[in-house]
Structure 1
Amino acid sequence: MNRLTKTLFASGIAALALAGAPAPALADGPIVQTAEAAKAAFEEDRQTILAMAGDFKVTFDMQESTPWLEGYAPLERKISGGYESVRVIEDTGARIVLQHLLVTGDEANPYVVKHWRQDWEFQPEKILAFTGGDTWELTAVPEKMRAGRWSQTVYQVDDSPRYAGWGEWETTQGIRRWRSNWTARPLARRDAIRNPVYDHYMGINRHQLTPNGWIHWQDNTKMVTPKDGGEAAPVVQEYVLNTYERFNGYNVAAAETYWAKTKGYWDAVREKWEAVAEANGGIRIAQEASAGTTIANELMLLADAIKDGKQTPEAASAKALALIEEGTSRKGG
């Protein structure tokens, strides 16, 4: 277990501890409910998660704000947007999987990208947590913090892991929201391609329902790990607000067609990543700034080949599974 893992999960703290600041208490204590209240809360939680599915116009609003490192100049605010169809691809009761499909191009010539995926699990015993560099480890959730809570694990476009956290769905000030624990994350491509001074994020994620959709709010501290292996230090604060507004005035049919043609392929890819994690206690795979994993582009192109009728799902799946096996079987991995 590396230094980042120990800091995160042995202490149950994260960013402030890594920054050398006084360690805060856990934001929430154990949840104690009657059996009837627990059942009602579970059903309400499920409906809240399922409410994030649908068709949306999305706005991505990112801003570096407070510099913590002397001499660092925060980046300019960046606002972008797009259209996403979010589909429930698995619902077993205590586990819900939402797949995001990004639709670009115009109405006549749409292009669909299998975007990020979010897996929700009730009362998880462990999560697939980022622990630095190119490594994710299956890490125990503190036992007293499991009851009544849900984990959210986010995956990249090729279904490789990105980050995971756990927290409670609750209603405060009339707003339904979920807040994660402190969560470690690798750099997003928008940052990684710039070769910045920081090398990972420590953040808190919030999901909140709105009258016309939902928001994903990220409170990120961008951190740098010293080359000598000492404690990581904060560089700059970043606030990200992703707003999902219900809207179907785009080529929703393109997303439906893409998923209908490639679903079996992505099912096989997802199952392979899960098998690797279970067999190895996590996943280790080389990363590249422009794509995420070094095999991401190849996995995406295989899906496009299926969509375009240039590959059968069976042949493409076989190639994809071989790529994952090879990419996660490096010496020392």
Structure 2
Amino acid sequence: MKITKTILRSALLAGFLAAAPLRADGPIQDRGEAVEKAHFERDRATILAMAGDYKVRFDMQESTPWLKGYEPLERKISGGHESVRVIEDTGTKIVLQHLLVVGEEGNEMVIKHWRQDWEYEPSRILAYTGPDTWEWTKVPERLRNGRWSQTVYQVDDSPRYAGWGEWQDSQGIRRWRSNWTWRPLARRDAVRNPIYDRYAAINRHQLTPTGWIHWQDNTKMMADAESEDGLKSVVQEYVLNTYDKFSGYNVAAADGYWAATKDYWAAVRAEWDSVADTKGGIRIEEESQTGTVISGRLLTIADEIRTGKTSQEGGIAEARQLIEHATTPRN
């Protein structure tokens, strides 16, 4: 009940969201096989359309303070170039890997960035439930019909957050909106040692004429022993990540990195999945600079495989040991 109460409380604080009809989260009635199939295929096409090469703009702004005396941070804008690749498509599951290309022309560096997994009508999601902890959370059976979950993973393929929602059309715009989800702090906040330690968030993904956007509505939360639910809202943050199609950068560098390391990362993903299943979720210590405490080494192993310094077999074996030893059972 703690999470439910907190999320409802955050929803009240984020007053503008009241404009979104509550029925959007209600059950989707059976629309018949032909209509369901048409919706499913259009959903798939929308998700797959997010793959491509992009110029990316990250726009982050704290706005309304909910805590007396808190001064919102100044707006922060950054950007770069990002290649998004479909690395798995089973029909009901689509996996998109983001690869960030940074540096000057001729001296680019590829950073394995975030990953997003889309699953149709899932029975459960691996959701963030508090510091260092991700747990399997059931998706209510009556709410699965016609919906997709999105699970976002960190640069080392450890989980970050997960939610579920329906792809819809309104005002001529194709969009997906998540349920309320918990999220760990992003690095931009974690390195500041802030008073808040998590976000209660709603995520939206929408296609645009030139690409797509990822819009986040984050309520930044802090522990508070005196509150009924143990948490207090600090400030609202709005994040708009804009992906505009663009290939005027070294796209080949991104594809070259992935070709050299994709088998290693497939083994890493499989190990995280195995740990989540056998340990009832994932519990692993995080640090502000790198995410999980093993993130830096997992990324370095990939670079060593790419340059030939480490064999793929040896790198995979080390990665499996790191993940197994750094995680603890949830039960």
User: TM-score, length-normalised on structure 2?
Assistant: 0.94
After superposition, the C-alpha distances for 1:81-125 in whole angstroms (9 at most, x for unaligned) are 000000000000000000000000122011001000000000010
1:59 CA drift (Å): 0.1
The letter of the residue matching 2:267 is A
Given that residues 181 and 202 in structure 2 are in contact (C-alpha distance below 8 angstroms), is that contact kept between their aligned partners in structure 1?
yes
Quote the residue 1:152 is aligned against: 150
Quote the residue 1:3 is aligned against: none
Aligned counterparts, 1:196-207, within 5 A: 196-207=194-205
How many aligned positions are there?
324
Which piece of structure 1 moves more, 273-282 or 239-248? 273-282
Quote the residue 1:273 is aligned against: 272
The letter of the residue matching 1:196 is P
1:15 CA drift (Å): 2.7
Given that residues 28 and 143 in structure 2 are in contact (C-alpha distance below 8 angstroms), is that contact kept between their aligned partners in structure 1?
yes
Which piece of structure 1 moves more, 16-25 or 40-49? 16-25
1:45 pairs, out of 18, 43, 54, with: 43
Quote the residue 1:253 is aligned against: 252
After superposition, the C-alpha distances for 1:144-173 in whole angstroms (9 at most, x for unaligned) are 110000000000000000000000001111
| Cα distance in 1 for residues equivalent to 2:75 and 2:8 | 24
SS of structure 1 residue aligned to 2:195: coil
1:178 CA drift (Å): 0.2
SS of structure 2 residue aligned to 1:244: strand
Given that residues 20 and 233 in structure 1 are in contact (C-alpha distance below 8 angstroms), is that contact kept between their aligned partners in structure 2?
no
SS of structure 2 residue aligned to 1:108: coil
| Cα distance in 2 for residues equivalent to 1:14 and 1:89 | 36
| Cα distance in 1 for residues equivalent to 2:295 and 2:118 | 23
Given that residues 63 and 75 in structure 1 are in contact (C-alpha distance below 8 angstroms), is that contact kept between their aligned partners in structure 2?
yes
Change (3 A) 1:286 1:173: same
The letter of the residue matching 1:29 is G
The letter of the residue matching 1:215 is I
| Cα distance in 2 for residues equivalent to 1:21 and 1:257 | 46
| Cα distance in 2 for residues equivalent to 1:121 and 1:19 | 25
After superposition, the C-alpha distances for 1:15-73 in whole angstroms (9 at most, x for unaligned) are 33368869985642111111111000000000000000000000000000000000000
1:309 CA drift (Å): 1.5
| Cα distance in 2 for residues equivalent to 1:186 and 1:258 | 28
SS of structure 1 residue aligned to 2:166: strand
Cα RMSD after superposing both structures: 1.9
| Cα distance in 1 for residues equivalent to 2:36 and 2:199 | 33
Quote the residue 2:8 is aligned against: 16
1:218 aligned onto 2:213: no
Aligned counterparts, 1:179-194, within 5 A: 179-194=177-192
Given that residues 219 and 240 in structure 1 are in contact (C-alpha distance below 8 angstroms), is that contact kept between their aligned partners in structure 2?
yes
1:224 CA drift (Å): 0.7
| Cα distance in 2 for residues equivalent to 1:253 and 1:43 | 30
| Cα distance in 2 for residues equivalent to 1:233 and 1:58 | 33
| Cα distance in 1 for residues equivalent to 2:221 and 2:181 | 12
SS of structure 2 residue aligned to 1:107: coil
Change (3 A) 1:26 1:204: farther
Quote the residue 2:231 is aligned against: 232
What stretches of structure 1 of length at least 5 have no aligned partner? 1-5
| Cα distance in 1 for residues equivalent to 2:94 and 2:219 | 28
1:280 CA drift (Å): 1.6
| Cα distance in 1 for residues equivalent to 2:55 and 2:147 | 29
Given that residues 18 and 232 in structure 1 are in contact (C-alpha distance below 8 angstroms), is that contact kept between their aligned partners in structure 2?
no
1:77 CA drift (Å): 0.2
Quote the residue 1:80 is aligned against: 78
Given that residues 219 and 233 in structure 2 are in contact (C-alpha distance below 8 angstroms), is that contact kept between their aligned partners in structure 1?
yes
Quote the residue 1:91 is aligned against: 89
| Cα distance in 1 for residues equivalent to 2:35 and 2:12 | 40
Aligned counterparts, 1:45-124, within 5 A: 45-124=43-122
Change (3 A) 1:311 1:226: same
The letter of the residue matching 2:80 is G
Which piece of structure 1 moves more, 301-310 or 267-276? 301-310
1:312 CA drift (Å): 1.3
The letter of the residue matching 1:51 is A
Change (3 A) 1:76 1:40: same
SS of structure 2 residue aligned to 1:221: strand
Quote the residue 2:125 is aligned against: 127
What stretches of structure 2 of length at least 5 have no aligned partner? none
| Cα distance in 2 for residues equivalent to 1:14 and 1:211 | 37
The letter of the residue matching 1:191 is D
Given that residues 62 and 238 in structure 1 are in contact (C-alpha distance below 8 angstroms), is that contact kept between their aligned partners in structure 2?
yes
After superposition, the C-alpha distances for 1:171-194 in whole angstroms (9 at most, x for unaligned) are 111110000000100000110110
Quote the residue 1:313 is aligned against: 312
| Cα distance in 1 for residues equivalent to 2:142 and 2:6 | 18
